[in-house]
Amino acid sequence: MHQSFFSVFFLLLSFLSIAQENYNYKNLVVSEADLKGTRYENDTTANAFYIYEKGFSRIENGGNYNLLTDYSGKIKILNKEGFDKSTIEVFLYRNKSRKEILRNLIAFTHNLENGKIIKTKLEEDKVYREKYDEHYTLVKFTFPNVKPGSVITYSYQTESPFIFNFNGWDFQDDIPKMYSECIADLPGNYVYNIRLVGPLKLDVEESSIKKECIELSNSATADCAHNQYIMKNIPAFKKEKFMTAKKNYFSRVEYELKEYKGFDGVNKKYTETWKNVDKELRTEKTIGLQLKKVNATKNILPDTIKAMPIGLSKAKVIYKYITDNYTWNEKYHIFRDVEIKEIIKSKVGNVAEMNILLHNIYKEQGFAVKPVLLSTRNNGYATKIHPVLTDFNYLIIQLVINQETYLLDATEKTLAFGQIPFRCLNQYARLLDFKNGSSWIDVKPKSRSSYYYREKLKLTDELTLEGVAKYTYYGYHANSKRKAFDKVSEEKFLDRILIPDENLFTSGANVQNQNDVEKPFIEEINFTKSTEKIEDIIYLKPFTKSFFKENPFKLNERTYPVDFGYKDSYTYIVLIEIPDSYQFLDIPKNQNYALPGKSGKLSLNFQLQGNKLQINHTITFLSSYYPVEYYDSLKEFFNLIVDMENNTVITIKKTS
């Protein structure tokens, strides 16, 4: 009897599970199974997901040749945390004379009530249009009557006169997708660069010729390349620490107009060679012409600096003089609003003005110097296949002294000579050489950044630990400390060196080299911390600070690399001294680990000498960039680090 009951029960559960996953991913029609489903099997943590999504782009509309895109999407809302996906935003581009438009918006919320599918329509007066910035209009709407279990559907058409910007397609989003399809009809006389970005593979990739897809003004017709791309069971793109721009990694199709072949025989190329781009930049008013204004900087430097012989010492003094006397306005603007005479007058400028000024001063003083275009970490990688100037959003300079190369940026006063901001550490950049031709260069710090912690702890008769600590920061860690020091009062900064708690009391803190960027940043502090005694055993945690309080890597699967930006090392030395009347009872075993390919090392070693115990904890990353296949190893590596730093315990016992 019981066996029969449980057989029926589990069979019913099996049918329910199948029903929950039987979503209709073939079209926009909402099925009963769509509404009954309660989760997405491929990602049970998802709060919402796309059941179906499709886009179709083509050029038509009679003689206007505008770009039309039909979009339709169906999203399952699984719980309240997924309600934010019921608000949709569409951005429409515009310039002074033309603009994109949105039409034919149809949107419904679907719910299952008393066994019936109930549809609630989005009313037109609930669709809001507002100016987002100087180039975009935002169309925004929120679906009505959304509940856990709802399915929302919507479709619309956009029309764009900007055919050079043929709509790409994002397969990935921050929620999963069961099915995503992109169709593009590309006219034969429009030649596009097409590329699939990201690690995910297409399930369908088909191309064919679509005859007479466009009618021309003279009654002639043209054929199109009909491209269909489909991807299924697409995981959500989840951001995590130590990554560059999202657009470097999430899977999508991109189109870039390369050439237009007119039916009148006139061809226009939109993608040029770097040789042509170099020629244009040489005469372009915001870069090329400003780089020629060398004479405008003749009277900037003091005579004492001018009199110095050309060499590294002079280069450093010039760099410090500019960073001390000129201020970055925190704007990038490398292709507009650049005028060297203006920054000389106001002593405030954008990235291009700051660094072209530095470039021109070096050149006027006889140094070998060139400008460098790059894309920052948040902006994504610049395309290497062909020149795309809009990929670049930053400008620095390259200085060569005695065959040694230095990359410089004058925007931050806390940077050491030869150190560029962390935002610029984006793998590579374009060195502009208008005489010999531009070229790609690597953008990597020459030296490793590091932490070096040293503490001396002494157990007192009151069973407290009296500590003296010296924390030394090199490279980018020193830069971060100086930036933090500049933002608050010295008193407040000193109070934060060690965060006081009920077991920790600090005194006598000071900092060194806070204004000397060529030296490490140093913190020194005296402190007292309590121990824990249970019966006759004294327990103490040796590490007052932690390099990592928690593991930064939490994803089950990461589909993009880990990019720290720079090579890093961490050293923590603790010396514990106890009175002669005590002895160390339990000391953990030495631990040593390595990442695959010896690309990183981790150790925790103990050395006992009488009543003194020295603990050496080191972490070394021999690379700044780890491919996807290293993720699981890095995740476990950090688990070990966190465990060592937060759970290591030393026990001590009184002997007499």
Q: Express each pLDDT in 124-174 by its tens digit.
A: 999 999 998 888 999 999 999 999 999 999 999 999 888 777 778 999 999
Cβ neighbors of 139 (< 8 A, separation 6 or more) are 89, 90, 91, 92, 102, 127, 128, 129
Residue 301: pLDDT band by 50, 70, 90 thresholds?
very high
Q: What is the DSSP string of 569-607?
A: EEEEEEEEE--TTEEEEE-PPPEEEE-GGG-EEEEEEEE
pLDDT greater than 90 at residue 267? no
Task: Please report the pLDDT score of residue 21 as a whole number.
Answer: 64
- The two tokens of residue 645 are 């730093």
Q: Compute CA 75 distance to the chain's CA centroid, rounded to the nearest angstrom.
A: 27
Q: Is 153 helix (H, G, I), strand (E, B) or coil?
A: strand
Of 170-179, 381-390, 477-486, 642-651, least confident by mean pLDDT is 381-390
For 185-239, the pLDDT digits (tens) are: 988 878 888 888 888 999 999 999 998 887 766 677 788 899 999 999 999 999 9
Please list, residue by residue across 113-136, b when 16 or more beta carbons sit within 10 angstroms of its beta carbon and e when fewer do. Answer: eeeeeeebebeeeebeeeeeeeee
CA pair distance 643, 634, nearest whole angstrom: 14
Q: What string of H, E and C letters represents the secondary structure of 427-482?
A: EEEEECCCCCCCEEEEECCCCCEEEEEEEEEEECCCCEEEEEEEEEEECHHHHHHH
Residue 20: pLDDT band by 50, 70, 90 thresholds?
very low
First to last CA, the chain: 71
Cβ neighbors of 215 (< 8 A, separation 6 or more) are 62, 221
- The two tokens of residue 37 are 């489903």
Residue located via tokens 């995981």: 235
- The two tokens of residue 574 are 């603790």
Whether residue 332 contacts residue 374, with contact meaning beta carbons closer than 8 Å, is answered with no
Cβ neighbors of 364 (< 8 A, separation 6 or more) are 294, 295, 297, 298
Indicate the domain borders of the chain: 6-267, 274-443, 449-654
pLDDT greater than 90 at residue 257? no
CATH 3.40.50.360 assigned to 449-654: no
Mean pLDDT to the nearest integer, 552-558: 92
Of 29-38, 262-271, 497-506, 509-518, least confident by mean pLDDT is 262-271
Task: Please report the pLDDT score of residue 11 as a whole number.
Answer: 45
Residue located via tokens 């005489």: 435
Task: Please report the pLDDT score of residue 166 as a whole number.
Answer: 78
Mean pLDDT to the nearest integer, 473-489: 95
- The two tokens of residue 464 are 């407290």
**Element (DSSP H or E) covering residue 645:** helix 631-647
Task: Please report the pLDDT score of residue 133 as a whole number.
Answer: 85
- Measuring CA to CA, which residue among 655, 656, 606, 652 is closest to residue 463? 652
- The percentage of residues in the chain with a pLDDT greater than 70, rounded to a whole number, is 94
pLDDT greater than 60 at residue 284? yes
Mean pLDDT to the nearest integer, 587-609: 96
Mean pLDDT to the nearest integer, 104-113: 96
pLDDT greater than 50 at residue 55? yes
CA pair distance 424, 430, nearest whole angstrom: 12
Query: What Å distances lie between residue 38 and 22, 111, 127, 176, 233, CA to CA?
Result: 11, 13, 29, 15, 17
Q: What are phi and psi of 358, to 5 degrees?
A: -60, -45
Of 49-63, 209-223, 388-402, 469-483, least confident by mean pLDDT is 209-223
Please indicate whether the domains covering 6-267 and 274-443 agree at the CATH topology level: no
Mean pLDDT to the nearest integer, 14-26: 65
Q: Is 158 helix (H, G, I), strand (E, B) or coil?
A: strand
Residue 434: pLDDT band by 50, 70, 90 thresholds?
very high
- The two tokens of residue 397 are 């300079």
Task: Please report the pLDDT score of residue 217 as a whole number.
Answer: 64
Single pTM value for the model: 0.86
pLDDT greater than 60 at residue 581? yes
CATH 3.10.620.30 assigned to 274-443: yes
Mean pLDDT to the nearest integer, 426-450: 95
pLDDT greater than 90 at residue 46? yes
Task: Please report the pLDDT score of residue 10 as a whole number.
Answer: 44
Question: Residues 283, 286, 291, 292: is their CA dihedral positive or negative?
Answer: positive
Task: Please report the pLDDT score of residue 6 as a whole number.
Answer: 44
- The percentage of residues in the chain with a pLDDT greater than 90, rounded to a whole number, is 75
**Domain topology for 6-267:** Immunoglobulin-like (2.60.40)
Task: Please report the pLDDT score of residue 459 as a whole number.
Answer: 94
CA pair distance 317, 305, nearest whole angstrom: 7
Of 59-63, 89-93, 451-455, least confident by mean pLDDT is 59-63
Residue located via tokens 């061809």: 267
- Measuring CA to CA, which residue among 72, 88, 82, 53 is closest to residue 146? 82
Q: Is 416 helix (H, G, I), strand (E, B) or coil?
A: coil
Mean pLDDT to the nearest integer, 293-322: 96
- The two tokens of residue 306 are 């001018």
Assign residue 401 a region (left: φ > 0; alpha: ψ between -120 and 50; beta: otherwise): beta
Residue located via tokens 């309600």: 83
Please list, residue by residue across 240-279, b when 16 or more beta carbons sit within 10 angstroms of its beta carbon and e when fewer do. Answer: eebebeeebbbbbbbbbbbebeeeeeeeeeebbebeebbe
Whether residue 555 contacts residue 562, with contact meaning beta carbons closer than 8 Å, is answered with no
Average pLDDT value for the chain: 91
Mean pLDDT to the nearest integer, 83-111: 94
Task: Please report the pLDDT score of residue 8 as a whole number.
Answer: 44
For residue 583, the cross-strand partners are 653
Task: Please report the pLDDT score of residue 19 as a whole number.
Answer: 44
Of 1-5, 324-328, 449-453, 554-558, least confident by mean pLDDT is 1-5
